[in-house]
Amino acid sequence: MPVPGELTFVAPRGAKPPRHLADLSPADRREAVVELGEKPFRANQLARHYFGRLSADPAEWTDIPAASRGKLAEALLPDLMSVVRHVSCDDDTTRKTLWKLFDGTLVESVLMRYPDRVTMCISSQAGCGMNCPFCATGQAGLTRNLSTAEIVEQIAAGMRALQSGEIPGGPARLSNVVFMGMGEPLANYNRVLAAIRRLTDPAPDGLGLSQRGITVSTVGLVPAMNRLADEGLSVRLALSLHAPDDELRDTLVPVNTRWKVAEVLDAAWNYAERSNRRVSVEYALIKDINDQAWRADLLGRKLRNRRVHVNLIPLNPTPGSKWTASRPEDEREFVRRLEAHGVPVTVRDTRGQEIDGACGQLAAAG
Ligand code: SAH
């Protein structure tokens, strides 16, 4: 039986997240403020508070008349998400947050503090429709796209936590953002692109992060990759390849049945050229599935002399999975063969594994 007072509001399916300042371009913000009967410059003041100072608390906006603050906050800075819980490890320098959105949907983000940088891994969709069999998020299917502001708020919240010293090591700045949480960012193209603008526009129009510190990871949606290349950004593209041959990739990354290895690699090289940045090829090493020496050689031949860096990710087995990470000797041999082809390669660290916060484990299990 539901207990009165404990009922939480759950929006009807299909309802849109409330409009938020971070959804709007600077021009749209001015328009929205004027529609509320306020002077256009209030939009700039609001942006200074939200993007510049990370303040969403009207009590702190002393340059705005008290009578206007409540109205502006209600209309443009609604609460989009609440923390269900934080889970930490690595002496609290890795922290996963489970968020509940306005309609009860759950998504996760992860903050990782290293000695020389701080990275946040964020979600672009609730769930994912790409159905990769080794990925926890893929198992549950797609619930919905996140709004631009729901994406930006994950970052703003992380920046607030860093600024306030909540994360051990003293106040710090966020340096990197990776779209490697839940969802396929290029399947939510417009909102993700707008989020990148909000994250990277210089303060106070945006959060002032460097485009070069942002990585968009994709299964390989070729038209969207080419479109992203046309935007003229310097964000990094990561391509989740996981197999160098179509036969295996059709299974590991089912969208490969639509866009083949040769096509996704062409789109990746186009992106590298346009953005003037190396593409990162992601390859989860799965024992006896994709870690054979001949596949390393095939991958090496396809990537040699290209603007690329390979990131090998030891598979994080999802619950009930029949697959596990490669044997250490097979991983070493895979690295050696790629290097023999002159392909730069690193093995990704698996931070957050024990809190189910590592790559591909974000499943918002509750
Ligand atoms: N949909 C995007 C971004 C989210 S996943 C994409 O697929 O690129 C981020 C990375 O984690 C991808 O390279 C993905 O293939 C990888 N990944 C997913 N599940 C994993 C797992 N169980 N172990 C290791 N890597 C995994």
Same domain for 93 and 51:
no
For residue 186 and ligand 1, the question of a CB distance below 6 A is answered with no
Structure tokens of 335? 């690295």
Would 18 be classed as within a structural domain?
A: no
pTM tops 0.75: yes
DSSP SS3 for 203: coil
Q: Are 104 and 89 in contact (CB under 8 A)?
A: no
- 111 and 208 in one domain? yes
Asked if residue 320 and residue 220 are part of one domain, the reply reads yes
For residue 219, report the distance from its CA to the centre of ligand 1, in Å.
Answer: 8
What is the DSSP annotation of 165-202?
A: T-SSSSS----EEEE-SSS-GGGGHHHHHHHHHHHHSP
pLDDT of residue 337: 98
Which residue has its alpha carbon closest to ligand 1 atom 3?
180
Beta bridge partner(s), residue 239:
218, 281
From the CB of 134, is ligand 1 less than 6 Å away? yes
Q: Which pLDDT does position 320 carry in this prediction? A: 83
**Domain interval for residue 171:** 81-365
186 and 48 housed in the same domain: no
**319 and 295 within one domain:** yes
- Residues 120, 71 share a domain: no
Q: Whose CA is closest to atom 26 on ligand 1?
A: 360
Q: Are residues 50 and 194 in the same domain?
A: no
Q: What is the CATH number for 49?
A: 1.10.150.530
Spans of the chain, pLDDT less than 50: 1-8
pLDDT, position 89: 87
Question: Contact at 8 Å (CB) between 350 and 316?
Answer: yes
Q: Is residue 232 part of a domain?
A: yes
CATH code: domain of residue 258: 3.20.20.70
Using a 10 angstrom Cβ sphere, with 0-12 exposed, 13-18 middle and 19 or more buried, the burial of residue 132 is buried
Residue 3: predicted pLDDT: 39
Confirm whether 6 is domain-assigned.
no
Ligand 1 touching residue 318 (CB < 6 A): yes
* Domains in the chain, number: 2
Please indicate whether residue 280, judged by its CB atom, sits closer than 6 Å to ligand 1.
no
- Let me know if 359 is a catalytic residue: yes
* 213 and 320 inside one domain: yes
Exactly one of 121, 128, 135, 359 is catalytic; name it: 359
Query: Given 76, 108, 137, which residue is the final one in a domain?
Result: 76
On whether the CB atoms of residues 25 and 197 are closer than 8 A, the answer is: yes
Is position 5 within any domain?
Answer: no
CA dihedral 232, 217, 118, 93 (to 10 degrees): 170
Is 108 one of the catalytic residues?
yes
